[in-house]
Amino acid sequence: MKKYFVENNVPIEKQGSIITDGAPAMTGRHSGFIALCKADSDFPKIVKYHCIIHQLAICPKVMRFDHVMTPVIKIICAKVKQHRSFKILLQDLSAEHSDLFLRTEAFMESREEDTKLLSDAEWLLDLAFRTDMTVKLNQINIQLQGKDRTTSGMVSAVKALKAILSF
C-alpha cells in the first residue's frame, strides 16, 4: 500500500480513513489491510468505516415504512396483468431486481383498504418521501460504485446527499 502512495505522489500523512467491505483480508486483526496500516509508523492514526454502499442496504430495515410498502406491493400483485407490467417496467429500466420481494402479509389485507389509503394525506406523504429517498439512495449508490472513484469524490457525493436531506 505504501508503494501505491509513493508511486502516485499521495501524501501518506494525509490518509485519514479507510473504507472497507468488511472482508477479513481488509479487517483482519493481525494481517488485514487495516492492521498492516496501523502497524506501519508512516501511516497516521486512521479511522475505519464499513462500506457506505452496504450501509445503504441496511437503511430500509431501519426506516420502517411497512405501512407504505405493504399496500403498494399488494396493489401491484393484485392482478396478474399489473404484476406482469411491473416486471416489464423493471426490465425496461434495467433494474437490479426483476420482481418484487413478497411477503404473505401483503396479500392478506382487503382491497378496500387500498383505495382508502389513496385519500389518506399522511400515507401519500410517506409514500412520496419513501419514493424520493429511494431515488436519492439509488443515485448515491451508483456514484459510489465503479472504478476510478476517489475518496474525495465519494465524500462529496455523501455531503451533497446530506445537504439535500437537511434542506
pLDDT, tens only, 120-144: 788 778 878 878 887 887 788 777 7
Q: Find out whether 137 and 56 touch, Cβ atoms under 8 Å.
A: yes
- Determine if the pTM surpasses 0.85: no
Half-sphere exposure of 51 (CA within 13 A, CB side): 12
pLDDT at position 152? 82
The residue ranges of every structural domain in the chain are 1-50, 56-142
DSSP at 31 = T
Residue 104's pLDDT band (cuts 50, 70, 90):
very low
pLDDT in tens, 41-72: 888 887 766 665 555 555 565 666 677 767 77
Checking if the pLDDT of 111 tops 50, the result is no
- Identify which of 91, 99, 94, 112 has the alpha carbon closest to the alpha carbon of residue 73: 99
